[in-house]
Structure 1
Amino acid sequence: MADTGESSSGANCLEKLKSYVRTQKGLILAAEIVVSLIVLICYAASLYGGYSAVAICEMIFSMVFFGIFMMELDKQFVLVNWMWSDLFRAGIGAVLYLITSLICVIGGAGDGARIAGDQVENSGLRHSLHVFGLIAGLLFAYDTYTIFLQVKSTRQHTPASTDERV
């Protein structure tokens, strides 16, 4: 006799995945993972593979936060302030992606694979059609902005009392 508990928990996890990806935060995190993978592939094919460390770290951090938020572990482990942790993760990711992408765009004139991660060459003319590193930086910056708006909305300031009797 087969245990039906395992298939039911697998289906439950798949349903959580599908429903979380439909949310704004889930879609942003999924996009961050995909764009980080594209940037990782472009940097890995480059002569300068050292830049791939940013893509690897940010992809792993995005996957970890995706799993935490998807499984709603942030509501169970209240010792960590997940919103601020996610804000720092996204902010640092935006800054690192923008810095490394700008370095590769400016200094990568001789390496075709590195330029492919940042620019598309067509008939010797460099067209800035898809700059994946900059797109990733902007995506992480947008995530930082949305998290900042959440932090700002959750911090409800009550005005100080101006009553002289107090």
Structure 2
Amino acid sequence: MADTSAYGSPSCVERLKSYVNTQKGFILAAEILVSFIIIICYASSWCGGYTTVPICEMTMSMIFFGIFMMDLDKQFSGINWVWTDLFRAAVGAVLYIITSLINLIGGSRDGACMAGAVFGLFAGLIFAYDTYTIFLQVQSNRQHSAAPTGEKNSFC
């Protein structure tokens, strides 16, 4: 077996462990885990059609987790990753809250559907918190990039 530490680049498992310890990595891992639990709840209930939202959101969270973990967002600068992630998290929060409220207000179909709806509200809160943290990051980037030009505006 080859010694991977001699090459200088960390292994995938080391990157995974170090990225999950960051705030963004922990939030994305929580989104993936809660979405998986919701998939199980909805798939085992009579309202299996609601599995579309958690499947899509879990897939998108996994894609962004991989992109940010491997630092691919720094290599592909053609996409504004912060705004794309903000859009993903905001849409996820809205969709989870809407589908969960539909299932909760619609009456008790079965226990698994209700559990999926409750976990869906929790996932909506996680996605909303992710949206909030990304929005704070956008605001801090905007304040740091706005530099005075030294020119005076004259309206003659």
Please give the range of the TM-score, normalised by the shorter of the 2 chains: 0.7 to 0.9
Is the 2:46–2:109 contact (alpha carbons within 8 Å) kept by the matching residues of 1? no
CA RMSD of aligned residues (A): 2.6
Q: What are the within-5 Å matches in structure 2 for residues 1-166 of structure 1?
A: 12-118=11-117, 131-156=118-143, 157-158=146-147, 161-162=151-152, 164=154
Aligned 8 A contact 1:108 1:114 in 2: no
Contact 1:97 1:133 in 2 (8 A): yes
Displacement of 1:11: 6.4
Shift of 1:163: 6.0
Unaligned runs of 5+ in 2: none
CA apart distance, 1:9: 9.6
Q: Structure 2 vs 1, CA of residues 9 and 60 (structure 1 numbering), >3 Å: closer, same or farther?
A: farther
Equivalent residues, number: 153
The answer to whether the 8 Å contact 2:92/2:127 transfers is yes
Report the CA distance between 1:54 and its aligned residue: 0.2
Identity of aligned residues (%): 64
Please state whether the residue corresponding to 1:60 is helix, strand or coil. helix
What TM-score comes out, normalization by structure 1 length?
0.83
**Residues 28 and 143 in structure 1, CA contact (< 8 A), matched pair in contact too:** yes
* Matches of 2:50 and 2:68, distance apart in 1: 28
Supply the AA of the counterpart residue of 2:18: S
TM-score (norm 2): 0.88
Closer, same or farther in 2 for the Cα pair 1:115/1:163, shift >3 Å?
Answer: closer
